[in-house]
Amino acid sequence: MADFATSIDIEAPPEVVFAHLVDAERMVTWLGKRADIDPTPGGAFAVELHAAQVRGEYLEVEPPHRVVISWGMLGIDDLPPGASRVEFTLTPTATGTTLRLVHTGLPDRAASTHAAGWANYLGRLRSAVAGGVPGVDAWSPRATSA
């Protein structure tokens, strides 16, 4: 199993960034095209990305500093729904927020694909939080793994 970690700085307070992790309308501005979520421990996390359907549940929700979800994909045998874990930690800074993402329990073959995917989606999050419109999401894991 593989783990992936990264962080980005976002020019917005943790409360604003946090809202993009727990509100379905805000989530689809950066992650996916449809979200059916219940941001309470044990609540559903179902997001339809451009090229995949993510399923899991919210494991921990600590406003406005931390969100932990289980993560997997429909139709992926070695990463089924809820098989891995994604932790978002939000730390206030002088200019906004540092978001640290740690994705654990990934199959080895999926680590580089998820690293590329998170780079795409965290860039979209930064844009959405700033009020921008990231545009149509054309990222595909197939392009990364080919």
Per the DSSP assignment, residues forming a β-bridge with 103 are 4, 86
Please tell me the distance from the alpha carbon of residue 97 to that of residue 51, in angstroms, as a whole number: 29
Rounded to two decimals, the pTM is 0.92
Cβ partners under 8 Å of residue 131, min gap 6: none
Joined tokens for residue 110: 């999926």
Q: How far is CA 28 from the centre of its chain?
A: 11
What confidence tens digit (pLDDT) does each residue in 21-63 have? 999 999 999 998 899 999 999 999 999 987 789 999 999 999 9
Domains detected in the chain: 2-133 (3.30.530.20)
Q: What pLDDT does 105 receive?
A: 96
pLDDT tens-digit map of 104-122: 999 998 888 899 899 999 9
Query: What was the pLDDT predicted at 142?
Result: 55
What is the mean pLDDT of the segment spanning 92-98? 97
